[in-house]
Structure 1
């Protein structure tokens, strides 16, 4: 999103073009002495900030007209003006021009639109706009000015599945002014604040000038550390007041999923444009960024006129209630999250994703040395023998019996591709079955089954179990990727997970599918339905649930029960299902479930089974 200077330039050009077209149309309707040139020049000068041009087309004092036009822009804190001439009537030496005005107040509210008239008369044979404040708006009178009265809404929290906030309050320090107290020093005070903070002086001054004089005007918001570093400088500016406000911006676990919030900086204000203004909070990452517009809503705004002497409101010209801000409800479960955090604590590099097996709802995301969004949800890691769950689904459909005996040599070549078991793996006897090789993750035995399954069969099973499905989350995520399988070697590499990429999230959903019998797309946020607060389109359509073959699933469950039995994953009470798997670069997987919670663990130089066992034990406790 571009900043306001670029947006203003585009609006000025658009307004100029609109008036030029309107004037061309009107030219054919009047003779050379018609008032349309005066109307056109006045409105073009007003909207393009060429106040000299505009003032020259009035009968008023040029300096006073220029100042009135400049003040109107400041008093409205307007990003742009646009005008459209709708008609001109002439009666002797008097004329009236009708025009439509659009004022962008820059608050993410509808444009302020109104209809108005320009009275004109002949002065020494030339048409002039008869100047008065009502030229700016029909209800503006002498001794009055515009103002914009705003009521910002406090930021709403991100919630867990029990509707408890996933962040705690922290104090933000809001520097602002009460215009009445500044008197004639507004420009001086704002200049000093601009020097200290880096915010554009004209933007700060516009905000002060556009506000009711008796209200506190928030200008810049600071976090604790930045405020402490600048407290002395701010205190030295006579007229600056500090309002300490508690706001829900300090994220709890999972911190990188919830995301961080900061005060808007001069740099981010220029980048964002839109509804944010100096002093507002802005989501910098995670759900706080994805749902920024929902969490902050839009400001309640009123355009009013004030009496210059008393500062009291005279009239309300327009009002926008603003878009109501709302909390964002997630599927995160605090108990599961705490267990995940504890389970990965003793590792150096790991990620654990837990989902509810019957819904696909993400219950917890724990990481150590990895990023919760970039790696746990969206990471692209080699599947290793964890992909054998998918391969087993395809092989069982091809009538490969779990009791079929398969040799598990240390090395084997399939279709020209070489495979080897990990040097530390426990050798299996020659009489070992497919189920036993699956449970122990024997790469050479599993790869030897490549000729028993088609590429189409592997791809179909992968898609049934959610890989390559086009799901959408409000944060980055990755559903998995298979290469083109054009040979037995390619299929063998896929069965061994050497050419397949997955994320911990996608593998947790594989486990949930085998556990429940149905693959479902992941869910992280239940309300609102879409991250775009201004969208009118329906929510994004997620891929349809995929039903597993009941008989195949029952056999696969038995095989995964054998894979978990007697391992560190079976540390707690209750049945645990799953398999351990190896992957390149010292990584290990554990994919499985207990009860209604399915998980995937990826760990480097650590036993993923132990992490899974600690997680399930934590849930039980």
Structure 2
């Protein structure tokens, strides 16, 4: 049996998955070195209080430890990393570890009490249960080091060993995966789907075939600790799957909700992203069934369903729904759109545009950040998150048939973060699967859990949007195509509605470009990393897809 080593990197770049009947090895590369945390406040220990520390550990330390573990488990890696002494390194390591080992939805449980770790630091023991796609759950114990900072707060004292005790500057983990047979998967009409014809599906076929977390269908694998320099296996940490020669599942192919034509068109459309990392999801408005899911590069990390991005101005769909439902604004109300607005920091519009005397409809179609931010006082701090969860299903647990990230809308920490949340920035996180669903909900009035396999469990609970609000959202989405920033889609036949988005990433990176759209019974979302603008980068992708598939799927 041939063996093909495949190594993941630190960046979000995808790693290659093994093909059926080929033994694939995935290495997790991690930045070397341990950096000390912030200075410890002299004379104030972690068990400060009565003499001898009888009052127990500082509750703030345990809260920070649990918050870090909760963020990591939920896939909020930027937020988790921000709780450490090395945010940049921490985010890269956590991303590489979970994506590189195919870990989905970790379950991390902290011990009830921390223990002193010397030099005023604390150590919080925790149990990690790491489900590895298609194989099983890897369970181990580790410790979370915490150190008090100069401001009196606590941070996780970042080091490699907190991720796993054996992760170090000389040893890393890799996943050795073996498939006994190629899974047989079809689209909704029974057309075979293969990794050769649909490369974006190659990493997902095993899961779509029902291999699940128990390693059914003959899937086998192991997590191995290897020497960084030589690649020599030091020890096997965990083994999964059926024994060699075990019978595979029955001969019946697994049917999905996908449409082979839409999937082909989606993968071709991503060619319009000019080689940038990008992802696309198209789904049915009436029931949430996914018609196409594509990534560029095609193999590796599933950005479309597992990515964690700021959705930028596409999130103004949710913000608008919250404002309209509350009666805080009407489409024809004048909401001025100045070039910039200061709320703790300066917020501005794309290319510092301005629209004096604009209506709220105009603010939406021109994606005016300052106008939306000026309305922040109309919503309670937790109201945007409540609307996202209650009406759009964002942040609830979805069962889509594959590993997916289901979104996060935290309560803002301050007025500046609240301003950012109004325009899909701050700590709001989503991906194309979520934003395609948001678009479908907005134009139909009802959330349907997205799914790629028939009969998936649905434990979500949502309410329908008011009919009048749905009509207003549809009108504004259509106007964004005919008279606004999504004019790139204006020449397409049919009643196409859309919303562009430009999401800031960092001072060192260009903005991500977003576009969501709907036509007939289909809703689509695209993100292009460092695409600069939504209309300029994601616009041609959606245009290509809708031009190639002019009719709704059956």
Q: TM-score range by the shorter chain?
A: 0.5 to 0.7
Structure 2 residue aligned with 1:255, among 195, 202, 219?
A: 202
Which residue in the other structure is 1:474 paired with?
401
Q: How far 1:492 moved relative to its partner?
A: 1.5
Q: How far 1:579 moved relative to its partner?
A: 0.7
Structure 2 residue aligned with 1:574, among 494, 517, 521?
A: 494
Q: How far 1:430 moved relative to its partner?
A: 0.5
Which residue in the other structure is 1:165 paired with?
192
Distance in 2 of aligned mates of 1:447 and 1:266: 50
Q: How far 1:591 moved relative to its partner?
A: 1.2
Q: Normalised by the size of structure 1, how large is the TM-score?
A: 0.50
Structure 1 residue aligned with 2:349, among 417, 421, 424?
A: 421
Structure 2 residue aligned with 1:444, among 370, 374, 384?
A: 370
Q: How far 1:373 moved relative to its partner?
A: 5.5
Q: How far 1:575 moved relative to its partner?
A: 0.9
Which residue in the other structure is 1:590 paired with?
515
Written as runs of structure 1 = structure 2, the 5 A alignment for 1:469-618 is 469-485=396-412, 487-499=414-426, 500-526=428-454, 540-565=457-482, 567-584=487-504, 585-603=510-528, 604-605=530-531, 606-618=536-548
Structure 2 residue aligned with 1:277, among 229, 232, 244?
A: 244
Q: Which runs of 5+ in 2 are unaligned?
A: 1-179, 210-216, 225-235, 505-509
Structure 2 residue aligned with 1:412, among 336, 341, 348?
A: 341
Written as runs of structure 1 = structure 2, the 5 A alignment for 1:10-21 is none
Higher helix share: 1
Distance 1:559 1:612, change over 3 A: same
Distance 1:616 1:514, change over 3 A: same
After the TM superposition, which parts of structure 1 deviate over 4 Å for at least 4 consecutive aligned residues? 153-156, 249-253, 259-274, 370-373
Distance 1:390 1:555, change over 3 A: same
Which residue in the other structure is 1:380 paired with?
308
Which residue in the other structure is 2:77 paired with?
none
Distance in 1 of aligned mates of 2:447 and 2:363: 25
Which is higher, the Rg of structure 1 or of structure 2?
Answer: 1
1:322-366: CA deviation from partner (whole Å, max 9, x where unpaired): xx4542211111121122112111212221110100110111012
Q: How far 1:256 moved relative to its partner?
A: 3.1
- SS of the residue 1:430 aligns to: coil
Which residue in the other structure is 1:459 paired with?
385
Which residue in the other structure is 1:342 paired with?
268
Pairwise CA RMSD: 3.0
Which residue in the other structure is 1:136 paired with?
none
Q: How far 1:479 moved relative to its partner?
A: 1.6
1:90-141: CA deviation from partner (whole Å, max 9, x where unpaired): xxxxxxxxxxxxxxxxxxxxxxxxxxxxxxxxxxxxxxxxxxxxxxxxxxxx
Distance 1:571 1:476, change over 3 A: farther
Point out the more displaced range, 582-591 or 324-333.
324-333
1:279-330: CA deviation from partner (whole Å, max 9, x where unpaired): x7xxxxxxxxxxxx9xx22xxxxxxxxxxxxxxxxxxxxxxxxxx4542211
Point out the more displaced range, 509-518 or 605-614.
605-614
Distance in 2 of aligned mates of 1:570 and 1:336: 21
Distance in 2 of aligned mates of 1:607 and 1:274: 42
Distance in 1 of aligned mates of 2:431 and 2:498: 17
- SS of the residue 2:454 aligns to: strand
Distance in 1 of aligned mates of 2:463 and 2:434: 14
Distance 1:514 1:372, change over 3 A: farther
Q: Normalised by the size of structure 2, how large is the TM-score?
A: 0.55
Distance in 2 of aligned mates of 1:360 and 1:381: 21
Q: How far 1:617 moved relative to its partner?
A: 0.8
Contact kept in structure 1, 2:382 and 2:411, CA below 8 Å: no
Higher strand share: 1
Distance in 2 of aligned mates of 1:552 and 1:158: 40
Q: How far 1:498 moved relative to its partner?
A: 1.3
Distance in 2 of aligned mates of 1:505 and 1:571: 26
